[in-house]
Amino acid sequence: MVIQDHQQRYRELRKAYPVFSYKGFHVLQNQNNTEVAFEFEAGDHYAFNPRLYFDFGKTRNLLFQQPGIERLLVFHLGMIEMLSYWKAFCSPRIRIEPYLLSVEQQTWWKKLFRYGLGEFFYTNGIPMPGPEMVDFEFPDACGPLPDKDVSPVTGDAGTVLVPVGGGKDSVVSLEVLKCSGYKIVPFVVNPRGATSEVLETAGFSPPEVITLNRKMDPLLLELNKQGFLNGHTPFSAMLAFVSFFAAKNAAIKHIALSNESSASEPSIPGTRINHQYSKSLEFERDFRSYVADHVDSRHSYFSLLRPLNELQIAALFSRQKKYHSRFRSCNVGSKQNTWCGKCAKCLFTYVVLSPFLSPGALMNIFGRDLFSDTALKETLNDLCGLSDAKPFECVGTIDEVNIALAHTVKNRLNNHMGLPPLLSYYKDSERYPEYQDRPLAEYIRNFDADHCLAPGFEKLVKSVLMDPGGIANGWSGEPQQRYP
């Protein structure tokens, strides 16, 4: 992990660009598509015009019939999109020109800016700022936000919008919901090879998918090259707002994310710094509360997999063999639709699948034996808690990694199989004795009650765990009951 010392640069930029402005937005809507353009400015020096293109395919696109609600939603898309541009300057004041935010709303956004950028501050060597990080200001003539939606159209309760990224988690959500009686509408941001292949395998044609193409302003990339601040932003917070926009447009009540309980563990132990902050249960609850109070209280945003841990999700996915050659969870290789085989995400996925798939099956997926690559030793240390920090990737908890590794070591030894270098290294580490006698079954049967699922969805996920045919008994992918 590379930590830069950009504290001085941070102070210089805040002084040079004291005000960042959200100038406005423009919307072009019709029955099939929505195009949104935003206007941001850093002082009088730089102007940014990012765009969002929503393609609703054959799904209904209704918001163009409700201009007030449309503007309310699009304004919020601009608030979250702005974060990617503001972070280049970290201006101490943000001037918001379209609408006036209440004190409560300002507090909500300040929290997201602080903790959503926790990794950004850490990797730039900037101490986590306090409330002084940013203040919002508004023109004197700025009016209030449009009222939240209380129209008779509440959304189809029998349909679920499912964001799909092409990894194992969204595959599990799709397969669980396909057994439930709900109609599924997939939602994809910036489609890539694995996303298209996963959706094709799941039986969805392109017109059945709502697609968002997000176009960054190229000026931001140029400024990054020039030494302006750069780093991780909370992508899943953006996904929350654009998913809500898509669901509102298509009159879909339920939005089912695929974030597991593990996402809430900090990347830096003992801190609030978490690469997955906007996948955490804390953010999920904050977002649900915000949209209920200020946008629409009748739509349901939740993570279907929140009661599950990464081991359970890996066990479920391991039985979905038709996806094994088609999914990808590697960010480094995403553009080429490959596994790079060198990053923490690749190694974590390999580790968490290893208790449930044979070495040959893992080789078929990844194209190589990652347990034989000694160059990954430090990455393994980061994943299993032998270093000071977890990787800044969407990976499971330290406990889950150690349980998977310990179980895989024991299983291979019990079957008189040799241990490749990384597993041999782990067996000799201080972690193995701590975990070698912990049964995998207790993790497989666990159901985390701390979630936001409505009773019907909770019952559905429990059925996948505990019913005859459930994961604890060798899940077939077909729960015994249906819960429409």
pLDDT in tens, 272-309: 999 999 999 999 999 999 999 999 988 899 999 999 99
- 442: which DSSP letter? H
Average pLDDT, integer, range 39-68: 88
Instruction: Answer yes or no: do 348 and 287 share one domain.
Output: no
Higher pLDDT, 159 or 335: 159
Confidence (pLDDT) at 471 = 59
Q: CA-CA distance, 176 to 464, in Å (whole number)?
A: 7
pLDDT band at 482 (very low <50, low <70, confident <90, very high): very low
Strands (E), 65-170: 93-96, 135-137, 156-163
Q: CA-CA distance, 418 to 415, in Å (whole number)?
A: 9
Instruction: Answer yes or no: do 287 and 416 share one domain.
Output: no
pLDDT band at 154 (very low <50, low <70, confident <90, very high): low
Q: Is the pLDDT of residue 332 over 80?
A: yes
Q: Are strands 210-215 and 51-55 parallel, antiparallel or unpaired?
A: antiparallel
End-to-end C-alpha distance for the chain, whole angstroms: 46
Q: Is the Cβ–Cβ distance between 452 and 285 less than 8 Å? A: yes
Confidence (pLDDT) at 303 = 98
pLDDT band at 52 (very low <50, low <70, confident <90, very high): very high
Q: CA-CA distance, 217 to 209, in Å (whole number)?
A: 25
Instruction: Answer yes or no: do 229 and 370 share one domain.
Output: no
Q: How many CB atoms lie within 10 A of CB 66?
A: 17
Q: Is the Cβ–Cβ distance between 120 and 216 less than 8 Å? A: no
Number of independent structural domains in the chain: 2
Instruction: Answer yes or no: do 252 and 286 share one domain.
Output: yes
Confidence (pLDDT) at 374 = 97
Q: Is the pLDDT of residue 475 over 60?
A: no
Task: Decide which of 286, 303, 320 is a domain's last residue.
Answer: 303
Let me know if residue 314 belongs to a domain.
Answer: no
CA angle 95, 99, 103 (to 5 degrees): 75
Instruction: Answer yes or no: do 15 and 159 share one domain.
Output: yes
Q: Is the Cβ–Cβ distance between 191 and 353 less than 8 Å? A: no
405's enclosing H/E stretch is helix 398-414
Instruction: Answer yes or no: do 299 and 358 share one domain.
Output: no
Closest alpha carbon to 339 in 193, 153, 178, 133: 193
Instruction: Answer yes or no: do 435 and 363 share one domain.
Output: yes
pLDDT (tens digit per residue) in 161-183: 999 999 999 999 999 998 888 99
Instruction: Answer yes or no: do 261 and 350 share one domain.
Output: no
pLDDT band at 484 (very low <50, low <70, confident <90, very high): very low
Q: Is the Cβ–Cβ distance between 264 and 281 less than 8 Å? A: yes
Let me know if residue 336 belongs to a domain.
Answer: yes
Instruction: Answer yes or no: do 254 and 379 share one domain.
Output: no
DSSP string, 40-54: EEETTTEEE--EEEE
Domain hosting 57: range is 7-143+154-303
Specify whether the backbone of 280 is left (phi greater than 0), alpha (psi in -120 to 50) or beta.
beta
Task: Decide which of 260, 288, 303 is a domain's last residue.
Answer: 303
Instruction: Answer yes or no: do 256 and 385 share one domain.
Output: no
Let me know if residue 317 belongs to a domain.
Answer: no
Mean pLDDT of all residues in the chain? 92
Confidence (pLDDT) at 159 = 94
Instruction: Answer yes or no: do 415 and 341 share one domain.
Output: yes
Confidence (pLDDT) at 59 = 87
Let me know if residue 112 belongs to a domain.
Answer: yes
Confidence (pLDDT) at 153 = 60
Q: Is the Cβ–Cβ distance between 194 and 326 less than 8 Å? A: yes
Task: Decide which of 303, 338, 370 is a domain's last residue.
Answer: 303
pLDDT exceeding 90 applies to what percent of the chain? Answer: 80
Instruction: Answer yes or no: do 177 and 277 share one domain.
Output: yes
Q: CA-CA distance, 36 to 141, in Å (whole number)?
A: 24
Let me know if residue 83 belongs to a domain.
Answer: yes
Confidence (pLDDT) at 476 = 45
Let me know if residue 268 belongs to a domain.
Answer: yes
pLDDT band at 410 (very low <50, low <70, confident <90, very high): very high
